[in-house]
Structure 1
Amino acid sequence: MGLEILDQNFLIRLGTALTLACIIFGILQLIKSKFLAQLPPKNLIFRKTYDLIQGLLSKTHWLFVLIVSLYFGSLVLNLPTPVANRFGQIVFLILLIQLGWWGTWWLGHWAKISFKEKRETDTAQASAIGLIKILGQTVLWVFLIVAGLSNLGFEVSTLVAGLGVGGIAIALASQKILGDLFASLTIILDRPFVVGDYIVSNDIRGVVIKIGLKTTLVRSLEGEMLILPNSDLLESRLRNFRRMEERRALLNIGVVYQTSLEKLKSIPQLIQEIIESQENTRFDRAHFKSYGPHSLDFEIVYFLKSRDYHLYMDTLQEVNLRIFELFEKENIEFAYPTQTLFIAEPEKDNLTKFNV
């Protein structure tokens, strides 16, 4: 009689648990289907939230909903501790798998949106989004697998130590590849250069065309495409001409020693007037610098208020032509390397000078 009553009570609790589980499962599935059937809102902010929730719900497996429903329904059964613990482990594993699906979808969703936003404005960051997504998904699943094994009673510390040794071996074997990948992330985050910049690295110079995960493409001045490893670029001394606000021009001019003092004094002022007459120039200084072996040397410094190299060369050419015209007008002679020989003539008791 007692066993029959016990069986009846268990059957009642089992029926109650199954009924509760079915109700919970039905409610959750109804909420999911109703939300997925709704039209997206027109407001952009609400639209992003809607897309996120809709995506997570679409990746919610029905088996996960069923297991969660059965778990809450089983709470009325008063299951034995070993059975309850084992069932709890199963629920936890299903939860980890579902978290993995959610996380994988969210990282992919973030990468898709970020790529659309960056591909028009920053191709370097756009190219690295895929790498960040893959790294994030890998780290997520490794963490979930370790958590699942720990839940099943495995010695995670031993496993992690083994993975650490294996990871070191893999890292040593692929050191160059990993170095280029991390160099790519450094370029993207630190931004020493971006696509379109004119850079100089050692004896290589050109315009950055593409920043990839392992290499950077640079088109040289001669026209060929150079493929440079990212790690090599970061280890070298880089000069980025794109970010300059103005270009500096240094001009050295030598005049002959026969130039009069009055004309020597006038040269800096005359050259300053020539430079200041040019557009987009900023005069800095002009000085009689030194006595050279063959000339009286002047040093002139001015700036072009633009980074355009063609404009810089055009201005430099115009300044040089105007200086040549000025010297021709003022009868100022440019110096060039010469040697003066004095030949003695004893019978005439004088010296004859020759310029060589």
Structure 2
Amino acid sequence: MRFYHRFLLWLLMALAAPVAVAVPPIKPAAEAPAVPADTLGRETPRSMVAGLIGALAELDYDRAAQFLDIPAPANNRQQLNAASQARAFHALLDDNGSLKPFAALSNADTGRLDDDLPADQEIIGEVKLQGKEVPILLTRGADGEHQIWRVSKETLAQIAAAAKGAPAAQPPAKNETLVAGAPLKDWGVLLGLGVVVFGGLWIVSFICVTVIRRLVADPAASSGYRFAEAALPPLSLLIAVFVFYNWADQLPVSIVARQTLLRYTGVITAIALVWFGLRLVDGIADLAVARMQRHQRRQIVSVIILARRTVKFLLLAFAGIGILGTFGIDVTTGIAALGIGGIALALGAQKTVENLVGSVTIIADRPLQVGDFVRVGDVVGTVEDIGIRSSRIRTGERTVVTVPNGDLSARQIENYAERDRFLFNPVIAIAYGTTSAKLREAIRIVQQVLAGHEKMAEGARARLGNITDRAFNIEVFSYIDVPEFDVQVIVREELLLAIYEQLEAAGIGLAFPTQTILCAPAEGVSPQPS
């Protein structure tokens, strides 16, 4: 179970490390003169281990000895002795040692302060000798102007005492085929293990998804299948990382190869977690959108879409920070630079901030939703998407108009989808020459048609509204009591046809544009219209 606990600790440290470095420390008002950095990079436990692995990879035992807490050699004999100690330490790490993964090592110059160890001590791994597990302890001490971390004298003494009587381990020979500081066969063992583990679990996840798809009657509508399809591939990758870490840590292969690959499994872990998170967010969002659409709660759809994009952006951002940290790139400096340039960025991003505020306003106030038919200024169409920066409207000509949300929230929005009924107010023009009795009959006909249709709302009116220079106008004011646009078009057609048919049957004609011209008569002759 020791490996499981160590893996979980490493995973938590990998996720927490980006957050820990995200906030730059507050500098005092008056700073002391800057001290040049240690040329070997021994200021933090993480950089110390990276430097030690680099020296061992190059088989530079004179440099590797400087990572051990031993007196500085004063002559060639002492230097040879120090290099011999470094060579023996390398061999022990290859055969029976293990170091914590890169992400689990502290990147602070003070080390971890919550590990129940003195402030100047840090455990970075262990060595097994004759059934004993000897922890590899670092101590922090002064080296000239620097405070550096080195493998402690206590650890070196324990290793020397436990190694008495045991066969001496041998580091890689210089004439052996080395790749990046480790024997080629060791790289082959580790990479082969990785191919078997990752490939095997990927095949298992594919088989599981295929079986579930065949067992489910309607995969597209099954939340269980959609969850399995989204979760199993990245979950298999995450499990593969755990299995690889557990097995690779127990193999007697070069510590350089082992530590290098285990260091970059943190990248795969971040990718697996983000992949799992992205697919899980998409799956949950799709199910939620489908459910909201079935319940006609379209305003929630916009909120779900915005929340999905926000969560995915945050996942990608944290993953990027974690991956950069794994490659040894200090993100603190970059974030501090963003803080320094924050004011200039804010001044240059006023429109972006305005659009973000506009999108929040649209979602909170809900003047329109995805699927609504709206008029925004001169744009008339169906809302297809409400994004973080802008919204898209599909016009009747099938073009897409993109409107920034800041502009959209400030405009007058006419939402046709919110109508509960449609206005029906045609003007029925009766021709001149119609008698008053026929005119009254025409008004009754229109009123009866309105009253006799089941889709008309109560209170429909039809009255002689005006006598113009061309016709008698019967003005209708009523509502078609349906919310659907397509239905009201049919009802409107039925009403107009019924009015025309009954007027035609009653012998009442509709007016058409006419004009009467009176010519000036000759003297003694009455004027005649023409």
Question: Is the aligned partner of 1:167 residue 2:342?
Answer: yes
Distance in 1 (alpha carbons) for counterparts of 2:117 and 2:462: 87
- CA 1:119–1:313 in 2, change beyond 3 Å: closer, same or farther? closer
Distance in 2 separating the partners of 1:273 and 1:72 = 97
Q: Separation in 2 of the partners of 1:331 and 1:308?
A: 35
Deviation at 1:197, TM superposition (A): 0.7
User: Does the residue aligned with 1:287 lie in a helix, a strand or coil?
Assistant: strand
Give the CA deviation at 1:246: 0.9
Amino acid at match of 2:488: Y
Contact 2:391–2:402, Cα closer than 8 Å, also in 1? yes
2:415 paired residue among 240, 255, 260: 240
Please tell me whether residue 266 in structure 1 is matched to residue 441 in structure 2: yes
Amino acid at match of 1:275: L
Contact map agreement 2:445 2:503 (CA 8 A) in 1: no
Maintained 8 Å contact 2:470/2:511: yes
- Aligned partner of residue 311 in structure 1, secondary structure: helix
* 2:474 aligned partner, one-letter code: F
Q: Which residue of 2 aligns with 1:128?
A: 306
* Aligned match of 1:286: 462
Distance 1:238 1:278 in 2: 33
Alignment partner of 1:324 out of 476, 490, 500: 500
Q: Hey, what does 1:88 align to over in structure 2?
A: none
By how many angstroms is 1:247 displaced? 0.9
Q: CA deviation at 1:292?
A: 1.4
Aligned positions of 1:33-112 closer than 5 A: 67-70=113-116, 112=281
- Matched residue of 2:517: which SS? strand
2:385 is the alignment partner of 1:339: no
Distance in 2 between the 1:56 and 1:186 partners? 37
Cα RMSD after superposing both structures: 4.2
Once the 2 structures are TM-superposed, how far is the Cα of residue 224 of structure 1 from its aligned partner? 1.8
Listed as ranges, the gaps of 5+ residues in structure 2 are: 18-103, 107-111, 121-273, 293-299, 319-335
User: What are the superposed Cα offsets for residues 102-154 of structure 1, whole Å, 9 maximum, x if unpaired?
Assistant: xxx9xx79x949745644334421221156548989xx9xxxxxxxxxxxxxx
Q: Does 1:308 align with 2:354?
A: no
Partner in structure 2 of residue 83 of structure 1: none
Q: Secondary structure at the match of 1:327?
A: helix
Residue 128 of structure 1 aligns to which amino acid in structure 2?
L
Q: 1:192 aligns with which of 367, 388, 408?
A: 367
Matches of 1:248 and 1:72 in 2, distance apart?
A: 82
Quote the offset at 1:299 in angstroms.
0.9
| Structure 1 residue 217, shift from structure 2 partner | 1.6
Query: Displacement, 1:343?
Result: 3.2
Maintained 8 Å contact 1:202/1:236: yes
Matched letter for residue 314 of structure 1: I
Q: Does 1:182 align with 2:228?
A: no
| CA shift in 2, pair 1:136/1:325, >3 Å | same
Kept in 1, the 8 Å contact 2:442–2:508? The answer is no
SS of corresponding position for 1:180: helix
Amino acid paired to 1:230: N
| Structure 1 ranges of 4+ moved more than 4 A | 55-64, 71-74, 130-137
Distance 2:117 2:477 in 1: 82
The equivalent of 1:299 in structure 2 is 475
What code does the residue aligned with 1:125 have? V
What letter is aligned with 2:480? L
Aligned to 2:222: none
| Equivalent residue in structure 2 for 1:219, among 394, 404, 407 | 394
After superposition, the Cα gap between the structure-2 partners of 1:56 and 1:116, relative to the gap in structure 1 and judged at 3 Å, is farther
Q: Percent identity?
A: 23
Q: Secondary structure at the match of 2:439?
A: helix
- Whether the 8 Å contact between 1:183 and 1:231 is mirrored in structure 2 is yes
1:59 and 1:169 map into 2 onto residues whose CA distance is 31
Greater share of helix? 1
Q: Tell me which of 185, 208, 217 is aligned to 2:383.
A: 208
Counterpart-to-counterpart distance in 2, 1:114 and 1:194: 20
1:323–1:69 Cα change, 3 Å: same
CA distance in 2, matches of 1:201, 1:273: 39
Answer whether contact 1:123 1:211 (CA < 8 A) is retained: no
SS at match of 1:353: coil
| Cα separation, 2, equivalents of 1:298 and 1:168 | 66
| Number of residues of Structure 1 aligned to a counterpart in Structure 2 | 258
User: Counterpart amino acid of 1:324?
Assistant: Y
Post-superposition Cα deviations, 1:285-329, rounded to whole Å, max 9, x if no partner, equal 111112212222221022122222222222222222222222222
User: How far off its partner does 1:71 sit?
Assistant: 7.5
8 A contact 1:294–1:337 mirrored in 2? yes
Distance 2:396 2:347 in 1: 37
Distance of aligned partners of 1:253 and 1:314 in 2 relative to their CA distance in 1, 3 Å threshold: same
State the distance in 2 between where 1:321 and 1:134 align.
56
Query: How many angstroms does 1:275 deviate by?
Result: 2.3
**1: CA distance between counterparts of 2:16 and 2:480?**
62
- The range that moved more, 254-263 or 125-134, is 125-134
Task: Note if contact 1:288-1:297 (Cα within 8 Å) is conserved in structure 2.
Answer: yes
Deviations 1:142-178 (A, max 9, x none): xxxxxxxxxxxxxxxxxx9x95x85343222111122
Question: What secondary structure does 1:341 align onto?
Answer: coil
Q: Distance in 1 between matches of 2:491 and 2:286?
A: 41
The runs of 5 or more residues in structure 1 that have no matched partner are 1-25, 37-54, 75-104, 141-159
Q: Look up the SS of the partner of 1:281 in the other structure.
A: coil
- Aligned in 2, Cα 1:267/1:167: closer, same or farther, shift over 3 Å? farther
